[in-house]
C-alpha cells in the first residue's frame, strides 16, 4: 500500500477514502496522508473497510491526540471508556437503555461545553436501519467564518462564546422539535449527566491549533457571549447561525454499515435527523481533546 485514494464528495466539502483498511492503522506514512487531508478538508469518510474492533478504533483515534472518555462520562461502557455507544435499544419498559440516540439532535459541536473541547471526532456505524434515517448533516464553519461580512467578522473576532450542555437548543427545525417532544418519554430517565452544567468560554472565532485556519465557533449549545447582555447575544447568535448552518456549506451523510467518519470538530458543526424507535441503530463515537 503506497497511497490512499482520496476523492472529494459531491458537496461543498468532504473527502472519501475507499481503499483504507484497519491493518493500516500503524503505518505512519498513511497516517500522515490522512492528517494532511484533514488539515485541508474538515471531513473524511472511510467506506468499504471491514468493521474495526473496539481496540482498533481506539488505537486509530488516539493517533490523533488524547481521547476523551465520553463513554465513561455518559455511563454507557465501562470496558472501553473512550467509546460512547449510541444505541436505540429499548429496555422492557420501552425506554432507551443508554443515552438518547433516536431523538433528533440540533446543530452542535461535540464537547464544546468542556474547558478542553474536542478537536477531532469519530463516528462509526455499527448497525444501520434498512431505510434511510438517522442521517447526519455536517456544515463547514471555516467556510462560514470566511463568508462573514467585514463588519460581522470584526464583531466576532475577540468575542468569547459561552457554551453549556443545556445550551439554547433553539436551532432545530420545527418538525424535529415536535419529534423530539414526541419521543421525550422514551428517553432514559435513569441517566443524569454527571458533569458540570456551568458555561465555559471559547473564542467565537476559533483558530485551529494545528493549522491556524479560523472557524466560526458557535452551535446550538452556545448560550450567549461573554460581556454581552442577553438580547444582544440572542440577536447576534441568530445572525451568526444563518451563516454557520448555511445550506450551501453543508454535507448530508447517509450511513452505510461500517462507515467511519472522521471530522475536525472545530471546523464543523453537525446534526442528527430523527431515527424511528422501531428501527435498530447503533453507533460508536470518540473524540480527541484540544
Ligand atoms: Fe455529535
123 CA distance to ligand 1 middle (Å): 8
In this model, does residue 167 exceed pLDDT 80? Answer: no
Note the pLDDT tens digit of each residue in 39-95: 999 999 999 999 999 999 999 999 999 999 998 888 776 689 999 998 888 777 777
Q: Within a domain: residue 157? A: yes
The three-point CA angle 76-105-181 to 5° equals: 95
Nearest alpha-carbon partner for 102 in 58, 134, 138? 134
Contact 154, 30 (CB under 8 A): no
Query: Is there a domain that residue 198 lies in?
Result: yes
Establish if 1 belongs to a structural domain.
no
**Predicted confidence (pLDDT) at residue 14 exceeds the cutoff of 70:** yes
Mean pLDDT of the residues in the chain? 90
Note the pLDDT of residue 134: 74
Instruction: Give this prediction's pTM.
Output: 0.93
Cα of 21 from ligand 1 centre, angstroms: 24
Q: Which of these, 244, 165, 174, lies nearest to 205 by C-alpha position?
A: 244
pLDDT for the residue 165? 85
Burial 7-33 (b: 16+ CB within 10 A, else e): eebeebbbbbbeebebebbeeeebeeb
* CATH number assigned to the domain comprising residue 16: 3.60.130.10
C-alpha cell at 20: 483504507
Residue 277 lies in domain:
6-289
User: Which pLDDT band, with edges at 50, 70 and 90, does 173 fall under?
Assistant: low
Instruction: Count structural domains, the chain.
Output: 1
Ligand 1 centroid to residue 164 C-alpha, Å: 14
How many angstroms separate the alpha carbon of residue 1 from the centre of ligand 1? 32
Cα(167) to centroid(ligand 1), Å:
14
In a domain, 39, yes or no: yes
Amino acid at each position: 500500500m503506497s497511497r490512499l485514494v482520496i476523492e472529494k464528495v459531491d458537496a461543498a466539502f468532504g473527502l472519501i477514502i475507499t481503499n483504507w483498511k484497519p491493518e493500516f492503522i500503524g503505518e505512519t506514512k498513511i497516517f500522515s496522508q490522512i492528517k494532511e487531508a484533514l488539515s485541508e478538508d474538515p471531513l473524511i469518510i472511510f467506506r468499504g473497510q471491514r468493521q474495526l474492533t473496539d481496540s482498533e478504533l481506539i488505537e486509530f483515534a488516539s493517533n490523533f491526540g488524547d481521547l476523551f472518555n465520553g463513554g465513561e462520562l455518559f455511563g454507557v461502557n465501562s470496558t472501553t471508556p473512550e467509546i460512547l455507544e449510541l444505541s436505540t435499544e429499548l429496555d422492557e419498559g420501552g425506554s432507551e437503555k443508554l443515552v438518547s440516540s433516536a431523538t433528533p439532535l440540533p446543530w452542535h459541536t461535540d464537547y464544546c461545553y468542556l474547558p478542553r473541547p474536542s478537536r477531532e471526532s469519530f463516528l462509526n456505524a455499527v448497525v444501520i436501519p434498512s431505510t434511510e434515517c438517522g442521517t447526519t448533516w455536517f456544515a463547514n464553519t471555516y467556510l462560514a467564518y470566511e463568508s462573514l461580512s467585514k463588519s460581522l467578522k470584526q464583531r466576532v473576532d475577540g468575542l468569547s462564546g459561552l457554551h453549556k450542555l443545556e445550551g439554547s437548543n433553539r436551532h432545530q427545525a420545527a418538525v424535529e422539535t415536535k419529534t423530539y417532544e414526541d419521543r421525550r418519554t422514551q428517553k432514559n430517565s435513569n441517566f443524569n449527566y454527571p458533569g458540570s452544567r456551568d458555561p465555559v468560554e471559547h473564542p467565537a472565532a476559533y483558530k485551529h491549533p494545528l493549522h491556524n485556519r479560523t472557524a466560526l465557533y458557535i452551535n446550538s449549545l452556545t448560550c450567549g457571549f461573554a460581556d454581552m447582555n442577553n438580547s444582544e447575544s440572542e440577536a447576534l447568535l441568530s445572525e451568526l447561525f444563518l451563516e454557520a448552518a448555511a445550506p450551501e456549506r453543508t454535507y448530508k451523510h447517509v450511513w452505510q454499515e461500517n462507515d467511519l467518519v472522521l471530522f475536525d470538530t472545530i471546523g464543523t458543526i453537525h446534526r442528527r435527523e430523527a431515527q424511528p424507535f422501531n428501527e435498530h441503530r447503533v453507533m460508536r463515537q470518540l473524540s480527541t481533546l484540544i
